[in-house]
Amino acid sequence: SQQGEEDPQALSIQEGENATMNCSYKTSINNLQWYRQNSGRGLVHLILIRSNEREKHSGRLRVTLDTSKKSSSLLITASRAADTASYFCAILYSGGGADGLTFGKGTHLIIQP
């Protein structure tokens, strides 16, 4: 299985600061998605970026994709306590193989009030 790898594994910042987390992968992709998981709950889709896109925005979220470096970053601006959660990148790889997204192990984000 070709999991994406998030970096860092854990991140703790002060409320109001920006949080950046990264995802690296190994082979060519169709799209890359970011999900949020509050403790023990189901994942919630945040944003999807296609392989031919370089940047997308959604509210306080900004996602970039660099296919030459096989990496993506998720930036959360002006963080809030409610942003405390785990964030996962999920990759839809090109080509054959099992269907579905391949999830990374996640970045655990803690926003200190």
Partner 1 sequence: EAQVTQNPRYLITVTGKKLTVTCSQNMNHEYMSWYRQDPGLGLRQIYYSMNVEVTDKGDVPEGYKVSRKEKRNFPLILESPSPNQTSLYFCASSLVGRSSYNSPLHFGNGTRLTVT
Binding site for partner 1 (CB under 8 A): 1, 3, 30-31, 33, 35, 40-45, 48, 50, 88, 90, 92, 98-106
Half-sphere exposure of 72 (CA within 13 A, CB side): 34
Alpha carbon separation from 111 to 13, 30, 55 (Å, rounded): 5, 32, 25
Q: Which is nearer to partner 1, 59 or 113 (CB)?
A: 59
User: Least distance in Å: CB of 113 to partner 1?
Assistant: 26
Which secondary-structure segment (H or E) carries 111? strand 107-112
Token pair 């970011």: residue: 34
Q: Which is nearer to partner 1, 8 or 16 (CB)?
A: 8
Q: Which is nearer to partner 1, 6 or 83 (CB)?
A: 6
